[in-house]
Amino acid sequence: MKRSAIGRGVLDTLARYNHNVEVIMLGEFEYLLICATARLGDDAYGAAIRLSVEKATGCRCSVGALYTTLDRLEQKGLLHTWMGEATPERGGRPKRRVRVTAKGTREATNFYNTVVRASQGVSWAPNAGLEGS
Amino acid sequence: MSGPGWWLADQASRLLGQDEREAVRGDFSELGTTSATALREILGLVVRRQVGTWANRGPWLALVGLVLPLGFLLNVISRHWAASSAVYAWLYVNNWTWGYLESPGARLDVLNISVAFVRECITLTCWAWTAGFALGSLSRRASWFNGGLFGVVLLGGTIAGTAAPVGGTAIVFAHVFYRVLFLFFLRVVLVLLPAVAGMSTALRLARPRLSRAIGWFVAVTILTWWAAPRIESAVIWSMWSLSNTDPLAGGISAWRGSLAVRFLPAAMLWPAGYLITTASWPRRRTTAIAADD
């Protein structure tokens, strides 16, 4: 037990030393997926999340990027996915439904707060002129 | 969703897991994606999945420890055994006479040769099935690549060598059937098909039953122990046929009886050992599958 804790500590230290930001916070695409999932609520599944991300970013979201990132987030415990019901408009095929976990909500909140803090005082941030006043 | 484009997309999607395939095809239906876009996106997802799979150690272990060494060993052993069986088949089929059964000594010869042939067939099948199981279990999503390569090594690994022994047996191998078809048939039926069956079993089962795994291990160990002397001769014969030199030439004869060649039978046992390990360590195995998928 003690040995594995030491091992994890060493790995974390090495990861931070190598500026592996993924250990500390979400990636931006991961954050986009969590946002889309949270916004869609009970209607969150593959195609809907994809459309939501494309609408928010104006960029194309490939099936490969979507499903591999969903898997990664599920392995991290930030999302939970399951196979839903089949519908006629999908040719009788089921949806892969998605839900944000409590840990996912915490991580997304941390990411958002970090980005807001890091953006204070920069010219493109809406509150740039307010700093120091 | 019909037409050649969708057929191609459907074939490509078979490289994905079943749930993922259904979800992705459903998304395409719902979004009204064209077949060309669907094919491109499915291939993109397959490539990402493959890259993710090869980031694990399982497919590499299967490639380095199984596909290349065992594929080549099964190739040379099946080739050697097929060549010697071809000689007896020619002797007893092409030159059949009831005299073979009239004399007690000749009858005993027929019996011994038939028993040896059946034993060799069973041995090859067992080796191939256990190798296929280990291959599928370790490779998971990379099974189609490692399995395909295993087939290439098995069928083509010695393609550059001498097609068949010369000298006293030249008359046998003058027949295309014995030189080409018999060899091909033996490899496909006794090695390739059992390996594919083992691989598909591994992909279907999360964990084999321990009693069956022990049964396979005991059977493979006994058969390998019986076959050990013939493995050595098959390898030496193959080295000779690949190099086209005299079998008694210095380089090759130095291998005869060497430690490396004596340990070759043990190499045929490791897939059966892996089967037992997989069956007896359920928790570790489940974790490995979850990490891989």
Subunit contact B29:A91, Cβ cutoff 8 A: yes
Q: Give the pLDDT score at B287.
A: 44
Q: What is the pLDDT of residues A29-43, one digit of tens each?
A: 999 999 999 999 999
Q: Chain B residue closest to A84 (CA)?
A: B23
- State pTM to two decimals: 0.72
In angstroms, rounded to a whole number, what is the distance separating the alpha carbons of residues B265 and B259? 11
B42 shares contact with chain A (CB less than 8 Å):
yes
Q: Name the phi and psi angles at A122, rounded to 5.
A: -90, 155
Q: Give the pLDDT score at B91.
A: 87
**pLDDT average, residue stretch B231-250:** 68
B289 shares contact with chain A (CB less than 8 Å):
no
Q: What is the pLDDT of residues B6-51, one digit of tens each?
A: 888 888 888 888 889 999 999 998 888 888 999 999 999 999 988 8
Subunit contact B41:A67, Cβ cutoff 8 A: no
In angstroms, rounded to a whole number, what is the distance separating the alpha carbons of residues B202 and B220? 18
Query: Chain centroid to CA A23: how far?
Result: 13
Flag whether pLDDT at B179 surpasses 90.
Answer: no
Count contacts between A and B (CB, < 8 Å): 63
Number of H helices, E strands in chain A: 6, 2
| SS3 state at B159 | coil
Of B280 and B292, more confident: B280
Q: Name the phi and psi angles at A58, rounded to 5.
A: 75, 10
- Residue to substitute from B16, B27, B53, interface A, most A β-carbons within 10 A: B27
Q: Give the pLDDT score at B290.
A: 42
Average pLDDT in chain B = 83
Amino acid (1-letter code) at residue B130:
T
Q: What is the pLDDT of residues A93-107, one digit of tens each?
A: 999 999 999 999 999
Q: What is the pLDDT of residues B73-114, one digit of tens each?
A: 898 888 888 888 888 888 888 888 888 888 888 889 889 999
B44 shares contact with chain A (CB less than 8 Å):
yes
Of B143 and A11, more confident: B143
Question: Please, are residues A49 and A40 in contact by the beta-carbon 8 Å criterion?
Answer: yes
In angstroms, rounded to a whole number, what is the distance separating the alpha carbons of residues A99 and B61? 36
Non-local CB neighbours of B9 within 8 Å, separated by 6+ positions: B28, B35, B38, B39, B42
Subunit contact B30:A47, Cβ cutoff 8 A: yes
Tell me which residue in B20, B22, B47 faces A67 most closely, judged by beta carbons: B20
Q: Chain A residue closest to B30 (CA)?
A: A90
Confidence of residue A132 (pLDDT cuts 50, 70, 90): very low
